[in-house]
Amino acid sequence: MKNEGEMANRPDNTAFTQQRLPAWQPVLSAGIVIPGFVLIGLAFIGIGVALFVTSQKIQVLETDYTGAEQGSPCYDCRDTSVPCVCRVNFSLSKLFEGPVFFYYGLSNYFQNYRQYGSSRDDDQLSGYTSAFTSPSETCAPYQYNSQKKPIVPCGSVANSMFNDSFKLYHVVNGQPRPVPLDGKGIAWWTDYNIKYRNPTVNGTLASAFADTVKPINWPRPAYDLDTTDPSNNGFQNQDFIVWMRRAALPNFRKLYRRITEGDYANGLPAGNYTLEITYNYPVLAFDGRKKVVFSNVSWMGGKNQFLGIAYLVIGSLCIVMSVVMLIVYAKYKFPEDEL
Amino acid sequence: MLRRRLNRLLGGDENRVDSRTIYVGHQPCSATEGFTPPKFCDNRIVSSKYTLWNFLPKNLFEQFRRIANFYFLIIFLVQVIVDTPTSPVTSGLPLFFVITVTAIKQGYEDWLRHKADNEVNKYPVRVLEDGRQTSKESEKIKVGDIVEVIEDETFPCDLILLQSSREDDTCFVTTASLDGESNHKTHYTVPDTEKDLESLSATIECEQPQPDLYKFVGRMHIYKPDQDPLVRSLGPENLLLKGATLKNTKKIYGVAVYTGMETKMALNYQGKSQKRSAVEKSINAFLLVYLCILVSKALVCTSLKYWWQSRDGQDEPWYNQKTQKEKDTNMYLKMFTDFLSFMVLFNFIIPVSMYVTVEMQKFLGSFFISWDKDFFDPEIREGALVNTSDLNEELGQVEYVFTDKTGTLTQNNMEFIECCIDGFQYKYRDSRTELDGFCVTDGPVSKLQQKAGREKEELFLRALCLCHTVQVKEAGSQVDGDQVDGLDHLNPHPEEEERGFIASSPDEVALVKGAMKYGFTFLGLESKNMKIRNRQNDVEEYELLHVLNFDPVRRRMSVIVKSKAGETLLFCKGADSSIFPRVRQEEVERIRMHVERNATEGYRTLCVAFKQLSAEEFALADAELREARLALQDREEKLMAVYNQVETGMSLIGATAVEDRLQEEAAETMEALQGAGMKVWVLTGDKMETAKSTCYACRLFQRGTELLELTVRTLEEGGRKREERLHDLLLEYHRRAVQDAPPVKGGVTRSWSTANQDYGFIIDGATLSLIMNPSLDASSSRHKNLFLQICQNCTAVLCCRMAPLQKAQIVKMVKNSKGSPITLSIGDGANDVSMILEAHVGIGIKGKEGRQAVRNSDYAIPKLKHLKKLLLAHGHLYYVRIAHLVQYFFYKNLCFILPQFLYQFFCGYSQQPLYDAAYLTMYNICFTSMPILAYSLLEQHITIEVLLDNATLYREVAKNAMLRWGPFLYWTVLGVFQGLLFFFGAWFLFSNPALQDNGQVFGNWSYGTIVFTVLVFTVTLKLALDTRHWTWINHFVIWGSLAFYVFFSFFWGGIIWPFLKQQRLYFVFANMLSSVSAWLVIILLILLSLMPDILLAVLRRPKSPRARQKIPGQSSAGGTQSSRSSARPLLMRTFSDESNTVI
């Protein structure tokens, strides 16, 4: 009886309740940290060198075609009330290795503006026709047009889709020869194949868009975006999807085309080129700039010096730190450690 | 007190309000002018806070009264009303979670209270009604009902005992559930009530309910048909309290006087005032800083936004037209809503989850105290008790320890050591060496081997046998083991039946047992007759006429008895200071020496005196006593006056010395506390000499300690006015202890090897009141200041002759002194309650003086020795844990929100969140909460053994070291550094958003996800770096959290969620992982963020004490201890050596 009572009140003698769980008690000592830093430093320098070299090897060709300055090729097109075509010439002194990626870039363009970013209706883009008749509130002021007809795709993002178009000509013997541009595979695979869906009504895409209107700024409705490839229409249009993925920063570039076909699969050979631009997209009103970028990519993506340099700096910093620590320890700390 | 005086001034009319009249059995009394049943509350006990109906509104109201909850509610409402960047769900969900969990917890607790209430309220009781016994539910008892209670039942309300089944008209009760005293108390029926309760016609007039358990005054008028009404006084001895249990008595009848919420138990049921810990104050200070950061961030963003928009073309570019509504909104209103939006966007910097985690840490953490088996005491079969978990970390911050002496430093386990009869010392050695068990040792006239006369001896022993309130425990109930003392085995008369004594004070038992050793045995009290067996084995009987109870003001008690021979005798025992003035001076001189010597040896001394009352004297005293007892008003004062009058002109017959042993390891504990930098003050009601010797024994005073005494004795030495002398002494001590002392005692204050003089300070209650409440003197505050400064420079302070209130006064004084040090009070008795409540941390010892201290304490431990582990190990660890928890929480939310703030500069100040809503919500709830919770429960940066061995480690965290502005700044800078790194690392990377080898580009959600991934990994690994104690739980939660984050991100991005309006994160995480650059930048940023911490850890570590690596067999404390014990003065022989062997 007595014993029972005693046991009932006595605290459990387990490792947990007595705070005696077996524990690993690591100590960050110089003996671990200094060699660790050296190793990390060396590894980082290695990676840094690889990154730097890779980045250096990437060829980039950038051309601003905004036409803000007098004398620049597209100066006359800067007022875009009328469709306008301008040409930018450039020459390559050596082979621009392929596959070549063709980007367009915008600056001082706030695609990451909050109200802008939320001005879309993902239900529409997923192909739910119910959202066609009543677009989301967030799309305002591009929810309905002035006749109260629903806009599909609604919202600022879709409405402001980039609509300059480019043609690239290789000037061979004074004759322009078109370079085939590949519009496939420029958007994320999952976006193109899963996230963005076209509605299916009565077989044809166009009938699904009945009783809706195209976005105000668009020249053609969504089901007729790509005149050359009928399967690249509606929301499942590569250019549209690329545009709809909002850029993170106000200066950004987006993939336009890839050059992977024909004679240019191995790259753009040295020579003169003409870029024919159909200038539609106004940017000067908000002090923006437009550019085109030709670049090839490596395993690390496009050209970016930052990573390589950062790795080199941090790697060397680690080495320096370990040397400093070694000196400090040699001078002050070792006698104590030996105790 | 004040009210009573007021009432006295206001006179008669008020008196009626102060008392209530009860008609016993609801019978109208002939003498009264018509029967009007008075209204009293019913007998329902309501301890629950809520009902089913008001639970929701009341609970919500109470929860939102907390400033933090209110803040989050405001944020939530702003999100609902204003167009904000994040959905209301992000802050609503956590808030809802917190509120729900709290509501469920409180609801459950209240349900338990309801259940307990119902159990009490629906308990069937038997009530006498119209001569019949009816059964009722307890809650239906009305004032005036006559209630029957049988053995082992608890009383359903406060009753006046009318009839008992015992022949001597008494009953026994235990009040264990009220004040924890488990001894049997005797209660008496009202005399002269009729045996037939049906025909009893009486009224009771008594005071209005008041919470004091031990006070009750009333008067009973008994009406008999053919007589004048009888008046009988009622006192606490007639009152049976609700909650007490009837023992040893078959059944009783009582009349209900106080019911329901007016019972003394209910009046005593009150929540204690909330104590707030220093950590909580730090949290609030930091919170304020972060609130300022939050507001200034929002302000900066708002103003920058409008500045930026004022520039050409930036306000409304063609691609981002405003809606008509936006255009129409007033500019200032827009600014305001923008400001609110920014607030909402950045509000995560002050997380709801911190409060939840802190609460959880405190609640769960406190279990480790009650689970600790080192706190388990096999004797009382109990471990430590945690009454509040809010103060765990305060245990690691204690600077001043105020300890009671009796029962705390000492065991309150009394043993009769010696006595002195008529100036001759009697020391008991062994009953068998001398026939009569007496042995005379070195008395003042020891050479003559004299003894006091036989007459005197026997008188003295009779006095010991008669002058007490001890009860003999009936043989049947002996097995309970309820004896107050455990000294039965010392009984020198094995032929004697084992006798249990029950008394409210262990001294009395020791004295009765002492008398027994010398041949006088107290046999018990039977119907007012005290029986003792004298040395000749004859039974002597004395009629007990009056007991003049002990009280701490008089410090003595008396009995008046009538012997068989017809003599009326008064025996009195009490403290020397209260007896000496009341006896003849020549007698005093003979005994004073003994008393003082006994006191210096650490014994508790009592003087015994007697006087013979003549018939007239007794008649006078008897009348006065009865009158005073009947008084309804100021009964105490009147009784006191009569007592003082009766207890005069006595003759001193002797003195006793009772030893109170030191608690186990008391000295070691005190030493450890001082080594930890705490200042120990002993506050006791005991005599200076006794207390001083205890201090020496506990090694609070060392041989080298210079004692500064400030007592009535030193004040009277100079022969000048007390005030002047006090002033001079204070100045002198101040010069010695404060001015001459080396300015700063760095590191170890108490170094025994150095020439540093230690000072001990002694003050008594009378002098203290001179200092605290001086007679209209301008120098008053100066005195107090001087006193405080002296005390703060002394290693130990002894305050003796303290009243309970003075103890609290001292604690309060120190608590409010400069730097507001953290105070801890430890005590075991009711007289320590005030100081336990006053101090920052109150510790109760589960001792012998009832449970009042335990009930009012924040923590209760069985023994003093447990204090060492409680403070040095638990307190230290809790402090480190919670301090780290708080700092870490602020840090992790700073580097969580800073990138979001920086992002505003790159998104046109449009309140674009950097992270997805799911990440915003889950960051604090799921991804980073568990590792820190596990850390804050399990971390032992130094193992418990090392902490216990090296008391000085406690100083490392003293004065809130880890939560001061320095460390806070460090954490903040770290958070800012990492936040900048996360954001700009990703920013540089995104200078070219084509990060995949297929040339595709990343968008803003990829940007946010990269930053977020770096963030989650960095803060978790930062915690991993700080963890010094990796149990499997730590491994599990740290790696588990990271794995969960990765898993969640895949899952969240892997499905098109039908309930989401925007599929923002669809395959973002997976795409990110397919990019080598993203991997590389994540690794780089994590490493770079952690580098400062690694470097700091390496460079700082060697400076920390060697003790961190435990070297077995070399505990430094052990070393000093052994060297010191030899140096201890001889005086302490009895205490510590014995206490060492007790274990």
Q: What is the CA radius of gyration of chain A?
A: 30
Q: Which of residues 73-112 of A touch B (CB under 8 A)?
A: 99, 101, 103, 109-112
Where residue B825 falls among pLDDT bands split at 50, 70, 90? Answer: very high
Residue A13 covered by a domain? no
- A246/B987 touch (CB, cutoff 8 Å), yes or no: no
A175 CA: distance to closest CA in chain B (Å) = 30
- Residue A224 shares a structural domain with residue A315: no
Q: Is the peptide bond before A22 cis (omega within 30 degrees of 0)?
A: no
Where residue A53 falls among pLDDT bands split at 50, 70, 90? Answer: very high
- Residue A178 shares a structural domain with residue A319: no
- pLDDT on residue B444: 40
Q: Domain B385-409+663-738+758-861 carries which CATH code?
A: 3.40.50.1000
From chain A, pick out residues whose CB is under 8 angstroms from the CB of B370: 11
A102 to chain B: nearest residue by CA?
A: B999
Give per-residue pLDDT as tens, A83-135.
Answer: 789 999 999 999 998 889 999 999 999 999 998 988 999 889 988 888 888 88
Residue A15 covered by a domain? no
pLDDT higher than 80, residue B1133: no
Average confidence (pLDDT) over B51-76: 85
Average confidence (pLDDT) over A173-200: 90
Cα separation, A116 vs A214, whole angstroms: 18
- pLDDT on residue A168: 93
Question: What is the distance between the terminal CA atoms of chain A, rounded to a whole angstrom?
Answer: 54
CA-to-CA separations, B918 to A195, B895, B1125, in angstroms, rounded: 19, 18, 64
SS3 B210: coil
Where residue A9 falls among pLDDT bands split at 50, 70, 90? Answer: low
From chain B, pick out residues whose CB is under 8 angstroms from the CB of A297: 994, 996-999
Residue B635, token pair as written in the block: 């009964």
What pTM did the predictor assign?
0.79
pLDDT higher than 60, residue A328: yes
Phi, psi of B756 (to 5 degrees): -55, 125
B417-431+454-473+500-660: CATH topology is Calcium-transporting ATPase, cytoplasmic domain N (3.40.1110)
Where residue B451 falls among pLDDT bands split at 50, 70, 90? Answer: low
pLDDT winner (highest mean) among A194-198, B208-212, B231-235, B492-496: A194-198
Inform me whether the C-beta atom of residue A117 falls under 8 Å from chain B C-beta atoms.
Answer: yes
Average confidence (pLDDT) over A37-60: 94
- Name the more confident of B1 and A39: A39
Of the candidates A11, A298, A332, which has its C-beta nearest B383's C-beta?
A11
- pLDDT on residue B29: 59
Report whether B680 contacts B814 (CB < 8 A). Answer: no
User: What is the biggest distance separating any 2 CA atoms in chain B, rounded to whole angstroms?
Assistant: 122
CA-to-CA separations, B55 to B60, B62, B104, B110, B266, in angstroms, rounded: 8, 10, 11, 10, 22
B39 is in an annotated binding site: no
- A297/B994 touch (CB, cutoff 8 Å), yes or no: yes
Cα separation, B772 vs B809, whole angstroms: 9
Inform me whether the C-beta atom of residue A309 falls under 8 Å from chain B C-beta atoms.
Answer: no
Where residue B1089 falls among pLDDT bands split at 50, 70, 90? Answer: very high
The sheet carrying B132-137 orders its strands as B132-137, B124-129, B146-150, B251-258, B158-164, B239-240
The chain-wide mean pLDDT, for chain A, equals 87
- Residue A244 shares a structural domain with residue A317: no
Where residue B377 falls among pLDDT bands split at 50, 70, 90? Answer: confident
Per-residue DSSP letters for A225-245? S-SS-GGG-TT--HHHHHHHS
Give per-residue pLDDT as tens, B162-201.
Answer: 888 877 777 888 776 665 555 667 787 887 766 677 777 8
Give me the number of domains chain A comprises. Answer: 2
Within 10 A of B550 (CB to CB), how many other CB atoms are there? 18
Where residue B1128 falls among pLDDT bands split at 50, 70, 90? Answer: very low
Estimate the share of chain B in helix, then strand, then coil, as percent rounded to the nearest 5.
50, 20, 30
pLDDT higher than 60, residue A339: no
- A28/B1098 touch (CB, cutoff 8 Å), yes or no: yes
Cα separation, B646 vs A141, whole angstroms: 100
- pLDDT on residue A274: 93
- B1000/A255 touch (CB, cutoff 8 Å), yes or no: yes
From chain B, pick out residues whose CB is under 8 angstroms from the CB of A24: 1030
- pLDDT on residue B1136: 32
- Residue A41 shares a structural domain with residue A70: no
B686 is in an annotated binding site: yes
- Residue A39 shares a structural domain with residue A73: no
- pLDDT on residue B779: 60
Going by their DSSP bridges, the two strands A175-178 and B158-164 should be labelled as unpaired
Of the candidates B85, B940, B1000, which has its C-beta nearest A186's C-beta?
B1000
- pLDDT on residue B1007: 95
SS3 B684: coil
- Residue A83 shares a structural domain with residue A183: yes
Give per-residue pLDDT as tens, B971-1003.
Answer: 999 999 999 999 999 999 999 999 998 889 999
Cα separation, B1001 vs B989, whole angstroms: 12
B508 is in an annotated binding site: yes
- pLDDT on residue B2: 46
From chain B, pick out residues whose CB is under 8 angstroms from the CB of A310: 985, 988, 1084
B801 is in an annotated binding site: yes
pLDDT higher than 80, residue B1117: no
- Name the more confident of B126 and B604: B126
* Contacts of A105 by beta carbon, 8 Å cutoff, 6+ apart: A62, A251, A252, A253, A254, A289, A290, A291, A292, A293
Report whether B643 contacts B560 (CB < 8 A). Answer: no
Burial B395-419 (b: 16+ CB within 10 A, else e): bbbbbbbbbbbbbbbbbbbbbbbbb
B524 bridge partner residues: B531
* Location of structure tokens 């138990």: B265
Q: Is the peptide bond before A99 cis (omega within 30 degrees of 0)?
A: yes
Give per-residue pLDDT as tens, B489-528.
Answer: 433 443 344 567 766 667 788 888 888 888 888 888 777 7
B377 to chain A: nearest residue by CA?
A: A10
Inform me whether the C-beta atom of residue A295 falls under 8 Å from chain B C-beta atoms.
Answer: yes
SS3 B184: strand
Give me the interface pTM, i.e. the ipTM.
0.95
- A300/B1102 touch (CB, cutoff 8 Å), yes or no: no
- Residue A210 shares a structural domain with residue A140: yes
Cα separation, B410 vs B663, whole angstroms: 5
Give per-residue pLDDT as tens, A222-280.
Answer: 888 888 888 888 899 999 999 999 999 999 999 999 998 888 888 899 999 999 999 98
Inform me whether the C-beta atom of residue A38 falls under 8 Å from chain B C-beta atoms.
Answer: no
Closest by CA position to A297, among listed A251, A245, A243, A260: A260
Give per-residue pLDDT as tens, B774-821.
Answer: 655 556 677 888 888 888 888 889 988 777 777 888 888 888 888 889
Inform me whether the C-beta atom of residue A141 falls under 8 Å from chain B C-beta atoms.
Answer: yes
Closest by CA position to B198, among listed B158, B255, B156: B255
- A248/B1087 touch (CB, cutoff 8 Å), yes or no: no
Cα separation, B1045 vs B1060, whole angstroms: 20
Report whether B939 contacts B1029 (CB < 8 A). Answer: yes
| Domain ranges across chain B | 45-122, 125-268, 352-367+873-1099, 385-409+663-738+758-861, 417-431+454-473+500-660
- Name the more confident of B1019 and B582: B1019
- Name the more confident of B4 and A89: A89
Where residue B850 falls among pLDDT bands split at 50, 70, 90? Answer: low
Cα B142 to the chain's mean position, in Å? 36
Residue A144 covered by a domain? yes
B721 is in an annotated binding site: no
- pLDDT on residue B1006: 95
CA-to-CA separations, A173 to A176, A273, B316, in angstroms, rounded: 8, 11, 48
| Residue A181: domain span | 61-296
Report whether B79 contacts B88 (CB < 8 A). Answer: yes
pLDDT higher than 70, residue B473: no
pLDDT higher than 50, residue B1023: yes
Where residue B849 falls among pLDDT bands split at 50, 70, 90? Answer: low
Question: What is the distance between the terminal CA atoms of chain B, rounded to a whole angstrom?
Answer: 46
Report whether A251 contacts B987 (CB < 8 A). Answer: no
Residue B1056, token pair as written in the block: 């098109």
- pLDDT on residue B602: 67
Of the candidates A21, A190, A339, which has its C-beta nearest B1067's C-beta?
A190
Indicate the Cα dihedral angle B243, B248, B250, B254, nearest 10°: -40
B216 CA: distance to closest CA in chain A (Å) = 37
Catalytic, out of B110, B158, B179, B404 = B404
Kindly report the three-state secondary structure assignment for every residue of B85-132: CCCHHHHHHHHHHHHHHHHHHHHHHHHHHHHHHHHHHCCEEEEEECCE
Give per-residue pLDDT as tens, B221-240.
Answer: 888 777 777 888 888 888 88
- pLDDT on residue A91: 92
Residue A78 covered by a domain? yes
Q: What is the DSSP letter of A27?
A: -
pLDDT higher than 90, residue B427: no
Average confidence (pLDDT) over B449-469: 78
B812 is in an annotated binding site: no
Within 10 A of A178 (CB to CB), how many other CB atoms are there? 12
Indicate the Cα dihedral angle B875, B876, B879, B883, nearest 10°: -170
- Residue A141 shares a structural domain with residue A45: no
From chain A, pick out residues whose CB is under 8 angstroms from the CB of B1103: none
- B999/A300 touch (CB, cutoff 8 Å), yes or no: no
- pLDDT on residue A258: 92
Where residue B70 falls among pLDDT bands split at 50, 70, 90? Answer: confident
Least confident of B410-419, B643-652, B931-940: B410-419
Burial B298-323 (b: 16+ CB within 10 A, else e): beebbeebeeeeeeeeeeebebbbeb
- pLDDT on residue B449: 44
- pLDDT on residue A138: 87
A254 CA: distance to closest CA in chain B (Å) = 6
- Residue A201 shares a structural domain with residue A165: yes
Closest by CA position to B1088, among listed B932, B929, B927, B979: B979
Within 10 A of B723 (CB to CB), how many other CB atoms are there? 15
- pLDDT on residue B511: 86
Kindly report the three-state secondary structure assignment for every residue of B872-935: HHHHHHHHHHHHHHHHHHHHHHHHHHHHHHHHHCCCCCCCCCCCCHHHHHHHHHHHCHHHHHHH
Residue A65 covered by a domain? yes
B999 CA: distance to closest CA in chain A (Å) = 6
Closest by CA position to A192, among listed A227, A256, A242, A119: A242
Residue B760, token pair as written in the block: 């001990």
Cα separation, B1052 vs B1056, whole angstroms: 9
pLDDT higher than 70, residue A29: yes
pLDDT higher than 50, residue B374: yes
Cα separation, B1117 vs B1139, whole angstroms: 19
- pLDDT on residue A337: 47
Average confidence (pLDDT) over B837-854: 80
B423 CA: distance to closest CA in chain A (Å) = 48
Burial B979-1018 (b: 16+ CB within 10 A, else e): bebbbebbbbbbebbbbbbbbbbbbbbbbbbbbbbbbbbb
- Residue A181 shares a structural domain with residue A307: no
Structural element, H or E, at residue B608? strand B603-613
Amino acid B128 reads: L
Average confidence (pLDDT) over B1020-1044: 94
B404 is catalytic: yes
Residue B434, token pair as written in the block: 């001398």
* Contacts of B189 by beta carbon, 8 Å cutoff, 6+ apart: B161, B162, B163, B164, B169, B170, B171, B238
- Name the more confident of A103 and B1137: A103
- Domain B125-268 classified CATH 1.10.357.10? no
pLDDT higher than 90, residue B123: no
Closest by CA position to B1075, among listed A42, A35, A302, A5: A302
Residue B59, token pair as written in the block: 């609970």
B828 is in an annotated binding site: yes
- Residue A163 shares a structural domain with residue A229: yes
A71 CA: distance to closest CA in chain B (Å) = 24
Cα separation, B1087 vs B982, whole angstroms: 11
The chain-wide mean pLDDT, for chain B, equals 79
Burial B1102-1123 (b: 16+ CB within 10 A, else e): beeeebbebeeeebbbeeebee
